[in-house]
Amino acid sequence: MSIASMTGFAREAGVTGPYQWAWEIKTVNGRGLEVRVKTPSGFDALGEEARGQILKALTRGQGQLNLSLSKASSTPKLRVNQEVLQSLLTAIGNLNLPGNVQPASLDGLLSVRGVVDYEEDATEPGQDEALSIALKSAVGQLAESLKAARLKEGQALAAVLNQQLDGIAALVTEADNSPARQPEVIRARLQAQIAELIDGKAALDPARLHQEAVLIAARADIREEIDRLNAHVESARGLLQEGGSVGRRLDFLAQEFGREANTLCAKANDVSLSRIGLELKAVIEQFREQVQNVE
């Protein structure tokens, strides 16, 4: 199973009768799970139902779900009011018209107000059953498309995280193999520092110097930090391999990485070891930032 990113986008659109519609959803990272909905008037219930389906498909992240709807212009329907027309014909038939007056023509009768009605489609979009069915059906596909988009981005994210773990592991190995950790090196450095201070005016007790070097080496020992960092690297690789909703656990590991790196820097007794520690902190911070996008 692969990890998923909390960032994703999906769109489902179609035409139902005179209506053109489109569902769109965009998600970004977030500590919890929240989806806001925006729908046209009359579609509040449908929006909440769609929101529920999206929430079931995700575990973390913030999302915005929108429904846009437009209606194509249509030609009004004409209806001849037979009752009014018949009344006109009856009234005209009862008239005694002068010889110079022509009977009313059909077009004249149809132009009389009330004879011809223009019928507009008064159906509200929210009451259109076919439209509601189409919109509900599209939400399921929208959720699947969103999950696919987040998984695709999660694959790219996993590659970046694994590369950063490789960098962390390499720096931990470099710190472990640093000559500055050896008691003999510490003793030589300590001897040089003391000789510089006393300027060769007094002899140094080799036994005492060795004891001091061992004590300094013990206080500066980073064996535990190195072991824990290696263990955290293996745990993080395992979570990436496991996949699913592992974002919170990876975030916890990133914090533990940071603590161990801070301790390593504090114990560093050599410039080269301090450099390794600072590089390690930089890579861990990059890892932590990327982990914030994992579902």
Q: What is the pLDDT of residues 190-244, one digit of tens each?
A: 666 666 655 655 565 666 666 665 666 666 678 899 999 999 999 999 999 999 9
Q: How far apart are CA 117 and CA 4, in angstroms?
A: 59
Q: How far apart are CA 122 and CA 74, in angstroms?
A: 12
Q: What is the pLDDT of residues 53-105, one digit of tens each?
A: 999 999 999 999 999 999 876 556 677 788 877 887 787 777 776 767 677 77
Q: Considering the domain boundaries, does residue 243 fall inside one?
A: yes
pTM > 0.85: yes or no: no
| Sign of the torsion formed by the C-alpha atoms of 171, 172, 173 and 178 | positive
Of 160 and 107, the structure prediction assigns the larger pLDDT to: 160
Neighbours of 29 (CB within 10 A): 16
Domain identity same for 186 and 210? yes
Q: Considering the domain boundaries, does residue 3 fall inside one?
A: no
**pLDDT reported for residue 1:** 79
Of 237 and 116, the structure prediction assigns the larger pLDDT to: 237
Domain identity same for 93 and 159? no
pLDDT at 140 over 70: yes
Domain identity same for 146 and 207? no
Q: What is the pLDDT of residues 247-267, one digit of tens each?
A: 999 999 999 999 999 999 988
Q: Considering the domain boundaries, does residue 228 fall inside one?
A: yes
Asked whether 278 and 239 are in contact (CB, 8 A), the reply is no
Domain identity same for 172 and 251? yes
Domain identity same for 81 and 64? no
Closest of 35, 10, 6 to residue 25, by C-alpha = 10
Closest of 136, 149, 166, 132 to residue 280, by C-alpha = 166
- State what percent of residues in the chain have pLDDT above 70: 79
Count: domains in the chain? 3
Domain identity same for 146 and 157? no
Q: What are the strands, taking DSSP E only, across 133-257?
A: none
Q: Considering the domain boundaries, does residue 253 fall inside one?
A: yes
Domain identity same for 48 and 158? no
**pLDDT reported for residue 85:** 73
Q: What is the pLDDT of residues 267-278, one digit of tens each?
A: 887 788 899 999
Q: How far apart are CA 179 and CA 184, in angstroms?
A: 9
Domain identity same for 47 and 68? yes
Q: What is the pLDDT of residues 49-62, one digit of tens each?
A: 999 999 999 999 99
Look up the CATH number of the domain holding residue 244: 1.20.140
Domain identity same for 161 and 144? no
Q: Two tokens at 165? A: 């773990």
Q: How far apart are CA 248 and CA 246, in angstroms?
A: 6
Report CA Rg, the chain: 39
Query: What domain range is 114 assigned to?
Result: 77-119
Burial category of 150 from C-beta neighbours within 10 Å (exposed 0-12, middle 13-18, buried 19 and up): buried
Q: Considering the domain boundaries, does residue 2 fall inside one?
A: no
Q: Considering the domain boundaries, does residue 25 fall inside one?
A: yes
Domain identity same for 84 and 190? no
**pLDDT reported for residue 216:** 63
* Mean per-residue pLDDT over the chain, rounded: 86
Q: Considering the domain boundaries, does residue 1 fall inside one?
A: no
Closest of 67, 68, 62, 66 to residue 33, by C-alpha = 62
pLDDT at 107 over 80: no
Domain identity same for 165 and 271? yes
pLDDT at 158 over 90: yes
Q: Considering the domain boundaries, does residue 187 fall inside one?
A: yes
Domain identity same for 166 and 41? no
Q: How far apart are CA 14 and CA 135, in angstroms?
A: 9
Quickly state the pLDDT bin for 6 (edges 50, 70, 90). very high
